[in-house]
């Protein structure tokens, strides 16, 4: 239970809130993470099997084996992408339900995300499609400069181009970071509107977003390296035993939900700071497609105006019955 969910958080408060949400409803987020980890585990294990089998063969793999492996990985990655999008949407829904004090379960959150699968998938295709095109274009530029025209000028130009590309990619990443949350919470049917909304919220707060996500990534790397050195082979970049595989999968098992929680907390925190978002506003966004009897309810634990645990605003009397009885019609007699 969050004491004051609609207070503006500092940098440290963002991590504290995210970790508190994770451990407060650990069962819900681990249930969602378990569904997300199934295709990831399959990809991870099949990749290791393909690499090991290729190294143990006396001859290099033929074209049929390579094509089969690429098709297999393509199907697995497509399924993983769909499951990840739905899982991240479910995590966003779970966090918003915690903010407004509504009951939640992992299956309920997955169903809510599945209802908006088209918008979530469209937004993911737009965001990652742009990033992939940018990376491919930059890779081709580096290849042309370093393989076709190798001299001091092209090397210097490549360094400058690399720094500029890294800055542009960071700027673009922070601008579209909140797209999944905007689409899920505000229910944008058009993915482009979700991207624009994310860009609008991130303007002026990119340093806050970037530093938070970088700290999360560094924390993940440190924890993974610690457990690898403690129980595994000692090398974070090598998989030498089944223990190393379990450590990798276990690390991602906790990283996925925490990543989604922090993204949602960042999104909600920016709306609280810039738009003074409160319980009623968030409830209206989250429950916009719920039945009318649910949309007008007040389940805010902090609400003290009425003693009822759950109250429908449409049924609140404008005056008490006693006051109504005491009302007397004005004297309109003519003297």
In tens, the pLDDT along 182-232 reads: 999 998 888 899 999 999 999 999 999 999 999 999 988 888 888 877 776
CA 137 to chain centre: 27
Nearest by Cα to 73 from 54, 56, 90, 49: 49
Mean pLDDT over residues 66-94, rounded?
82
Give the confidence band of 307 by pLDDT, cuts at 50, 70, 90: very low
CA 139/CA 131 separation, integer angstroms: 12
Structure token pair of residue 101? 């004090």
Share of the chain above pLDDT 70, in %: 76
What's the rounded Cα separation, in Å, for the pair 246 and 244?
A: 5
Q: What is the pTM of this model?
A: 0.76
Specify whether the CB–CB gap between 268 and 277 falls below 8 A.
Answer: yes
Write down the pLDDT at residue 289.
Answer: 59
pLDDT at 297 over 90: no
- Measure the N-to-C terminal CA separation of the chain; round to a whole number of Å: 66
Candidates 198, 182, 37; CA nearest to 120 is: 182
CA distances from 1 to 48, 103, 258 (A): 42, 11, 17
In angstroms, the CA 120 to CA 83 distance is 11
Average pLDDT over residues 259-266: 94
**At residue 50, does pLDDT exceed 80?**
no
């Amino acid at each position: 239970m969050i004491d004051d969910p609609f207070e503006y958080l500092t940098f440290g408060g963002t991590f504290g809130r995210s970790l508190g949400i994770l451990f407060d409803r650990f069962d819900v987020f681990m249930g969602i993470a378990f569904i997300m980890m199934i295709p990831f585990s399959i990809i991870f294990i099949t990749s290791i099997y393909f690499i090991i089998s290729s190294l143990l063969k006396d001859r290099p793999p033929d074209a049929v084996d390579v094509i089969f492996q690429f098709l297999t990985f393509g199907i697995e990655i497509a399924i993983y992408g769909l499951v990840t999008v739905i899982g991240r949407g479910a995590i966003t829904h779970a966090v918003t339900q915690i903010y407004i004090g509504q009951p939640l379960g992992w299956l309920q959150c997955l169903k809510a995300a599945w209802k908006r699968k088209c918008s979530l998938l469209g937004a993911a295709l737009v965001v990652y499609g742009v990033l992939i095109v940018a990376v491919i274009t930059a890779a081709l530029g580096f290849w042309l400069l370093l393989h076709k025209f190798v001299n001091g000028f092209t090397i210097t130009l490549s360094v400058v181009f690399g720094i500029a590309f890294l800055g542009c990619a960071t700027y673009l990443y922070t601008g579209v970071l909140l797209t999944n949350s905007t689409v899920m919470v505000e229910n944008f049917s058009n993915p482009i509107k979700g991207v624009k909304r994310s860009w609008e919220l991130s303007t002026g707060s990119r340093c806050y977003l970037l530093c938070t996500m970088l700290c999360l990534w560094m924390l993940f790397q440190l924890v993974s390296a610690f457990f690898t050195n403690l129980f595994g082979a000692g090398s974070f970049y090598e998989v030498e035993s089944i223990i190393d595989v379990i450590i990798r999968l276990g690390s991602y098992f906790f990283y996925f939900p925490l990543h989604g929680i922090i993204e949602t907390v960042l999104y909600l925190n920016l709306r609280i700071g810039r738009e003074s978002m409160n319980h009623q506003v968030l409830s209206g966004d989250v429950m916009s497609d719920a039945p009318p009897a649910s949309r007008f309810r007040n389940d805010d634990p902090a609400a003290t105006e009425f003693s009822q645990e759950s109250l429908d605003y449409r049924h609140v009397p404008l005056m008490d019955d006693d006051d109504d009885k005491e009302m007397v019609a004005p004297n309109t007699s003519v003297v």
